[in-house]
Structures are given as C-alpha cells and as structure tokens.
Amino acid sequence: MKERVLTDFDLHLIGEGTHYKNYEKLGAHVVEVNGARGVHFAVWAPNAKKVSVIGDFNHWDGKKHPMKLLGDSGIWEIFIPGLDEGELYKFEIKSKYRGYKEQKTDPFAFYFEVRPKTAAIVYNIENKHQWQDAEWMEVRKKKNWFESHVAIYEVHLGSWMRVPEDNNRFLTYRELADKLIPYVKELGFTHIELLPISEHPLDASWGYQTIGYFAPTSRFGRPEDFMYFVDKCHQNEIGVIIDWVPAHFPKDAHGLGYFDGTCLYEHEDPRKGEHRDWGTLIFNYGRNEVRNYLISNALFWLEKYHIDGLRVDAVASMIYLDYSRAPGDWIPNIYGGNENLEAIDFLKKFNEVVHQYHPGVLTIAEESTAWPGVSRPTHIGGLGFSMKWNMGWMHDILEYFSKDPIYRKYHTNNLTFSMLYAFTENFILPFSHDEVVHGKKSMLDKMPGDMWQKFANLRALYGYMYGHPGKKLLFMGSEFGQWREWNFDESLDWHLLQYEPHKRLQRFVSDLNRLYKTEPAMHEVDFEWHGFEWIDFHDSDNSVISFIRRAKNHDDFLVFIFNLTPVPRFGYRIGVPKVGFYKEILNSDSEIYWGGNIGNAGGVYADNIPCHERHHSLNLILPPLSVLIFKPE
C-alpha cells in the first residue's frame, strides 16, 4: 500500500479515547485508494509481533497479506485491492510474547457468518436501507419521556414466535416487523426492548455474551433487515431499546479475550478482570482505547440503526470491585474502597456523550443496589442515566403477591416500602425475563390459589404496577399468562390464546396501556412526590390499600383501591379529595377480564362523610383480588 488510509489525527483521537466514530476507520471498509477499489483493514493490537489478514481470498494463509504497524499507535492496517463486500476474513495475530498465535475475529465487524461459524464478513452498511422515520427522529429529539407514558414490551427475538412447520426456525427481522410490530401496537406498548441482538456465539447466553459489538446477529438476517425492523417500529410510533452489554465479554478464542497475546481489552489480574459467576472477562475501563471502543459502539447503534434507548446490563457488577467476590478475591481502589472508579468514570462519560449527541435517547441502568444517583445528572454527582430499573420494588411486590392471601396482612410492608424511596431515582418498574426463568416460575404460576385466583391475582398485580409511580416493563408472554417458564429455545405458547382466561388477561393489559396513555395522572408525574398521595395503607387486616395519582394539573387525579384477598367487601369507605361523581374507569373483576363482575355499577357519588382525614368519601363494593380505578367527573 503506497499511502496510509488512517491519518495521524485518527491515531491521536483513538489513543486519547475520543474518536467516537472509530468504527468508520477500524475494521474492514470498501474504499478506493489511488484509483484502485478494494478493502482497507485496520486493527488495534499493540503487543503483536505480526498481524495478517486471512480469508478465502488468500486460502487463510497468514503469509500472504501481512499488515503494517503505524508508528507506536498499536494499530495495524493494510489495503488489499480487488476485494469487495462479502469476503470472509479474520486477523491472524502473532504476539511478541510466549509464541502466541491466534485467529481473531474483527472487533469492529458489521456482519458475521451464522453461528457456529465465526468469520467476519466485509460489509458496507451505508446506503443499504432508505430510512423513512425522519418525523419520528425529529419528534424524539424534543420528547420529554419523563412526563410521557412509557410501556416497554421486553422481547427475545429468538423465542417470541417461531415457525414450527419449517423445522422450528427463527422468524427473520422482516417477518418480525410484520408480526411483532402490529401485535405490540395493538396492545398499546410504546417501546420494544430487545435482549441483546449484537452478535453472540451461544444461543443459551440470550445475547449477553457478545462477540460482535458492531453487528446485529445474523441469526435473523442481514444488517439492512434489522434497519428495516427498526424503521417499521418508528413508522408505527414504537421506540426500540436494545440491551447493551459493556460489563463483560466471553472467553471464546476468536473473540476479544487475550486479543494480541496480552490482556488488551480486559484486566490482567483475574481479581479485577474476570467474572467467576459467568465465566466471562471484564473490560479494562481505565484504558483509553477500550473506553473509546465501548462509547463509539453505543453511538454506533444510535446513529446507524436509529436505536431509541440503551439498557445497560449488570451495572452493579461494573461499579463494585467486590461484586460477587469473596474477601481476598478483589482489589480495593486507590482509596481503599470497593468502588470501581474507572468503571464509574466510564459510565458517566458514556451517558454524557450519548445525551450530548442524541437528545431524546434513553439510557437505562439495570442496577440492583442502592447506589445513589444512578439516574441523576453527572454534574451533581450522578451516573447520568435517564432511568433505572427498580429491582427492590420488583422483588418486594413479587414476594407479596406470591403469598397465600391469608398471610398477606403480615406483609403489607412489601407493598408500601417502595414509597419511601420511589422518587430518589427515575424508576422503571420491571417484570423482566429474569423473573420467569431458573425455577422462579412464570408470572401467572407465581400467583397463589386456584386457576381463577391466579388470574385475578395477576390482574391485580399488573394494576398495582400501572398505578404505582414509575414507567413500566413487561416481558413477552406475561401479557397473556404463559404457564411455563420462558425457554429461549422455543416459541411462546400462543395456543393459550384460544382459551378465554388468557385472551381476557391480554385484553386487560391492553386496556391498562390504553388508560396509561390517556390519563395524564398515570404518567405525567412519576418521579416527584406531588404525583402521589396515600389514602390509606393501614388496613393490613383486610389487605386493602388505596391511593391517589395526580397529573401536573393537580385537579386531574385518579383514585386507586386494591382488595388483595379473595373476599368481596361491601360498604367499604375511603376518603377522597372532593364531592361529585366518581366514574369506575377500570375494574379488574369485570367479566370482560374473566372476573366475577362484582363492582359499583359504573361509578359512585362521593358522600359528605369524613374519612381518612378527608372531608368526603366513597362507599364502595370491593371485588375479591382486584384493582378499581375511579375518575371524578
């Protein structure tokens, strides 16, 4: 190659960790050099003695196309004329140390062979798809998601639906666009959240052990097919969130681990560089090039695939040095603490850069501890995420609802404790894939009682989720009452929808989403105290609680009341803010939801009878295992 393609400025920015479009320079790109069309390859391997490009074009012979090291940057490059899209390739790396030699896949590859094959494919993702979502993207920039309804449908693309008559194969991205998007839209969800779709070798990892950070998995089609899916979502006013995994990566020989014969992407000391639980390696967040790799990857998905949000998996494992480690198996930071200062700094930088370049995009943390300020701006000491999963609420509420109702009066604290911290973060309330695997049972099967009570309990649980402050997330299958635990290797049990209880539960979720959208009191003030008021949480003996949700317009409010035992209650009085007629806008015991049809004939007039320290009150009939929602007219 007569001329370098990478400039000194590229090398400088990559070295200092600020080349946020380094995916345009590293990896494999079809370009023209000195009038010749071919492919430019570049890879970071600072401790390599020799790096070659190998592929079908040179019979996988590392002697044919050795690369050139660019100064002391650690980056190797070569231009091979005559090559084009579709070429299979890897990098053959010989290290300076220990006689190490390995065939590595490209960390920046845009497309891969279908597993179990592991080669990268030269692929130009530019101009492969003509985007038609300009209106969505423009509106998104100005969208205030904090005051909007956010109902997320969490999906594993490999098991939402399959094609049993065709060897139980996956649906393609385009088939999913035709089937999944109308389904999600009909149910009223605002977003689809995808378990990781970046390329991964092992189906059983569900995508959480990524090899190809810049490639949508080829299991379901080509990159432009995934673009088509996202575009169709946007045209139907559905946002797309993807799970993003900067916490760890697998040890597969062709992957990032021990990339150039040294611990390049990971820490060398296993006390800092290895997750024993998962058998994976931890990124070295203190290294500029590694930070640059991850931050540019986040921006890549937002820019090239128009993704609307990134949910960062396993944040707790990143920010604690002693996460799931025994004493002596971790290294304190320079101040003697257990905080991973480099990871914290990385997460702050990630959030700052994402929000700077892409206003309106959500960053969401799955963080399972009480780390303060996860969803607070970095300039006041927070990590900078838009929102955080409320894992504490999820554990407490599932523990409560899994109890036999006869014992619930002793566990009211599980229902109410979350209100002590509900506004310390911008919370999402998640019933995710993690709650329906590994012997935890499906959402429906967690519920106690006979079949009727299980469905009634689940409707009440979903009612509590939608009434409680915070945005919402529900894993696929939970909306119609899957009996079995989730199995990543099989389709959901769609045949259940031929049975009334499942069909009507699905309608209940749809109606909840409709109310959630149309009632400002249910979504406008999720993250501040003035959107919520208790009416009564003291009636533990009857397992009845009630509260008010208010919109930004304080006079716009809803009354929620929950009866969480299988006993109907007649003449039950609760205090309300004003006189007038209170319309019963939702009753989970309605026959249209497979309930017993006990209720209040559409609504109740408030009496001038003081109750619960309020001047007016409602005299109600409470169905068993139910939620009622009232709106004053």
Q: What is the mean pLDDT of residues 313-328?
A: 92
Q: Which helix (H) or strand (E) holds 291?
A: helix 288-304
Mean pLDDT, rounded, of the chain: 95
The angle at the Cα of 223, spanning 191 to 194, to the nearest 5 degrees, equals 25
Q: Reduce the DSSP state of residue 631 to 3 states and report it.
A: strand
Tokens representing residue 349 in the block:
């930088």
3-state helix vs strand vs coil in the chain, percent to 5:
30, 25, 45
User: What's the CA gap between 609 and 632, in Å, rounded?
Assistant: 17
Q: Which two tokens stand for residue 305?
A: 């695939």
Same fold, 8-121 and 423-475+496-633: yes
pLDDT-based confidence at 277, cuts 50/70/90?
Answer: confident
Confidence band for 97, pLDDT divided at 50, 70 and 90:
confident
Q: 8-121: which CATH architecture?
A: Sandwich (2.60)
**pLDDT of 506 higher than 80:** yes
Whether the per-residue pLDDT at 570 is higher than 60: the answer is yes
Per-residue pLDDT tens digits for 284-318: 999 999 999 999 999 999 999 999 999 999 999 99
Mean pLDDT value of segment 381-387: 97
State yes or no: pLDDT of 365 exceeds 60.
yes
pLDDT of residue 98: 75
Quick one: which of 60, 67, 64 has its CA closest to 87? 60
For residue 515, the model assigns a pLDDT of 98
Which of 38-47, 160-169, 447-456 has the least mean pLDDT? 160-169
- Locate tokens 């050099």: which residue? 33
Rounded to an integer, the average pLDDT of 138-161 is: 96
Return d(Cα 593, Cα 586) in angstroms, integer. Answer: 11
Domains in the chain: boundaries: 8-121, 423-475+496-633
Confidence check: pLDDT of 4 > 90: no
Instruction: Give the residue, 430 or 99, on which the prediction is more confident.
Output: 430
Q: Which two tokens stand for residue 469?
A: 């402050």
pLDDT tens digit sequence for 529-563: 999 999 999 999 999 999 999 999 999 999 999 99
Mean pLDDT of the region 489-495: 96
Residue 480 has pLDDT above 90, yes or no: yes
- Pairwise CA distance, residues 88 & 120, whole Å: 6
pLDDT at residue 197 in the model: 95
Asked if 561 and 549 touch (Cβ cutoff 8 Å), the reply is no
The answer to whether domain 423-475+496-633 has CATH 2.60.40.1180 is yes
- The per-residue b/e assignment along 408-426, b for 16 or more CB within 10 angstroms, e otherwise, is bbebbebbbebbeebbebb
| Strand partners for 575 | 617
* Dihedral sign for Cα atoms in the order 110, 114, 119, 122: negative
Decide if 590 contacts 598 (C-beta within 8 A).
Answer: no
Residue 429 contacts residue 597 (beta carbons within 8 Å)? no
Q: Which helix (H) or strand (E) holds 175?
A: helix 173-187
Per-residue pLDDT, 3: 62
**Active site residues per annotation:** 313, 366
User: Which pLDDT band holds residue 1 (cuts at 50, 70, 90)?
Assistant: very low
Q: Is the pTM of this model over 0.85?
A: yes
Express each pLDDT in 574-620 by its tens digit: 999 999 999 999 999 999 999 999 999 999 999 999 999 999 999 99
Taking phi over 0 as left and psi of -120 to 50 as alpha, with beta for the rest, 314 belongs to: left
Beta-bridge mates of residue 280: 250, 275
487 to each of 196, 208, 245, 476, how far by Cα in Å?
Answer: 16, 16, 21, 11
Whether the predicted pLDDT of 2 surpasses 80: no
Query: Residue 475: which of 465, 486, 463 has the closest Cα?
Result: 486
The pLDDT of residue 140 is above 60: yes
Quick one: pLDDT at residue 99?
81
Query: At residue 175, does pLDDT exceed 90?
Result: yes
